[in-house]
C-alpha cells in the first residue's frame, strides 16, 4: 500500500486528536473515509472540516466501540453499501493512570474494554470481509509508548496497550498471506484532548506540581497533525512499528540493547510521580 488514494479507509476516534488529524490527512490524500467515534458532536466537527476541504466521506456513525452489536451493525451497513475496507485504523482510546494500589476494577475494566476490546470488535467485524475480498490492505492499530515500556502509574494502561502489540505481532503472520499489512503506532506525547480527559486515580490534577508535569508533557508533545503525517508516512513505507516521536524509537532501541540505563530513567520518573502522591497525602 503506497497510497491511500481511492482506498476505503475506516478510522475510529475520528472526533478528536490523532484520529481527527489522520482523517483530515487521509482525506487530503484522496482516501474514501468511513469514520466513527463515541463523541457525536466532535465527529460532526470533523465531518464539517472534511466537507470544507472537499474530502470524500463514504459513511460515518457515532458509536461506542465497546458495544459489539453497534460495531457489527455499522460494519453490516458499510459492507452492504460500500464493500470491504482497504485500510482499518484503530485510533480511539482512553487513558487512566494512577498508582496501582489506587486502581479499582472499574479502571482496569474501562481500559481493557475501550483500548483492547474496541479494536478487537473492529477487527472481528471488518477484517474477515477484507480477507474475503482478496484485495490485500492495511491494518493499523494505535498503541502507545506504553505498549513498549512498562511505566510508573501505567499498570492498567500498559496492560491494554501491550495487548495491542501482542495481537499486532501475531496478526502479521496470519495476514501476510492475504497481503494485509499490519502496523503498530507507538506515539510518544501528542498534544490532544487526552491531556484534558486523562484520569489520574487518587491524584488531584489541580495542583501546581501536576500542572508543571503536564506542561512538560505538552512541551515535548508533537501536534496531532505532525503525528498524523508520521503515521501516514509509516503506512506508505510499510513500516510495522510507527513512531511519532524520535525519542520513543531511541528509547525502544535502548530497551532492547541497554535496558539498565533506560530502567534508571524510568525509575527516576517514578520517583517524581511518587513525590506528587506524597505531597498530596501529607
Contact residues toward ligand NAI (CB under 6 A) are 13, 15-19, 37-39, 42, 64-66, 91-95, 114, 118, 142, 144, 187, 189-190, 192-194, 197
Q: Give me the least distance between CB of 196 and ligand NAI, in Å please.
A: 8
Q: Give me the least distance between CB of 80 and ligand NAI, in Å please.
A: 22
Euclidean distance between the first and final Cα of the chain, in Å?
Answer: 56
Q: Toward ligand NAI, which CB reaches closer, 63 or 85?
A: 63
Q: Give me the least distance between CB of 274 and ligand NAI, in Å please.
A: 22
With b for 16 or more beta-carbon neighbours within 10 A and e for fewer, the 62-97 pattern comes to: bbbbbbbebbeebbeebbeeeebbbbbbbbbbbbbb
Q: Give me the least distance between CB of 20 and ligand NAI, in Å please.
A: 7
Q: Residue 185: beta bridge partners? A: 142, 242
Cα(49)–Cα(172) distance, integer angstroms: 34
3-state secondary structure of 163: helix
Helices within the chain (DSSP H only): 17-28, 40-52, 68-82, 105-111, 118-133, 155-176, 194-197, 208-220, 224-236, 246-257, 259-281
Residue 12 · residue 122 · CB < 8 Å:
yes
Which residues are identified as catalytic?
157
Cα(94)–Cα(77) distance, integer angstroms: 26
Q: Toward ligand NAI, which CB reaches closer, 45 or 263?
A: 45
Q: Give me the least distance between CB of 237 and ligand NAI, in Å please.
A: 20
**Backbone dihedral region of 192: left (phi > 0), alpha (psi from -120 to 50 degrees) or beta?**
beta
Amino acid at each position: 500500500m503506497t497510497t491511500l488514494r481511492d482506498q476505503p479507509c475506516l478510522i475510529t476516534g475520528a472526533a478528536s486528536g490523532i484520529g481527527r488529524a489522520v482523517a483530515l490527512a487521509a482525506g487530503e490524500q484522496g482516501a474514501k473515509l468511513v469514520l466513527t467515534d463515541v463523541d457525536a458532536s466532535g465527529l460532526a466537527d470533523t465531518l464539517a472540516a472534511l466537507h470544507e476541504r472537499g474530502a470524500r466521506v463514504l459513511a460515518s456513525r457515532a458509536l461506542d466501540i465497546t458495544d459489539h452489536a453497534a460495531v457489527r451493525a455499522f460494519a453490516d451497513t458499510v459492507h452492504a453499501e460500500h464493500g470491504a475496507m482497504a485500510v482499518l485504523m484503530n485510533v480511539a482510546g482512553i487513558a487512566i493512570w494512577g498508582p496501582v494500589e489506587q486502581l479499582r476494577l472499574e479502571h482496569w475494566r474501562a481500559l481493557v474494554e475501550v483500548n483492547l476490546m474496541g479494536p478487537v470488535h473492529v477487527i472481528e467485524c471488518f477484517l474477515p470481509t477484507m480477507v474475503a475480498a482478496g484485495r490485500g490492505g492495511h491494518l493499523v492499530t494505535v498503541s502507545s509508548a506504553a505498549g513498549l515500556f512498562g511505566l510508573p502509574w501505567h499498570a492498567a494502561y500498559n496492560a491494554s496497550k501491550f495487548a495491542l502489540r501482542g495481537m499486532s505481532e501475531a496478526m502479521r503472520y496470519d495476514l501476510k498471506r492475504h497481503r494485509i499489512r499490519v502496523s503498530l503506532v507507538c506515539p510518544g506525547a501528542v498534544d490532544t484532548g487526552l491531556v484534558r480527559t486523562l484520569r489520574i486515580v487518587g491524584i488531584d490534577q489541580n495542583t501546581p506540581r501536576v500542572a508543571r508535569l503536564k506542561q512538560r508533557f505538552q512541551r515535548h508533545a508533537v501536534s496531532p497533525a505532525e503525528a498524523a503525517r508520521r503515521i501516514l508516512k509509516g503506512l506508505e513505507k510499510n513500516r510495522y512499528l510507527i513512531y511519532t516521536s524520535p525519542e520513543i524509537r531511541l528509547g525502544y532501541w535502548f530497551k532492547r540493547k541497554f535496558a539498565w540505563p533506560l530502567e534508571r530513567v524510568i525509575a527516576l520518573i517514578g520517583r517524581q510521580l511518587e513525590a506528587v502522591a506524597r505531597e498530596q497525602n501529607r
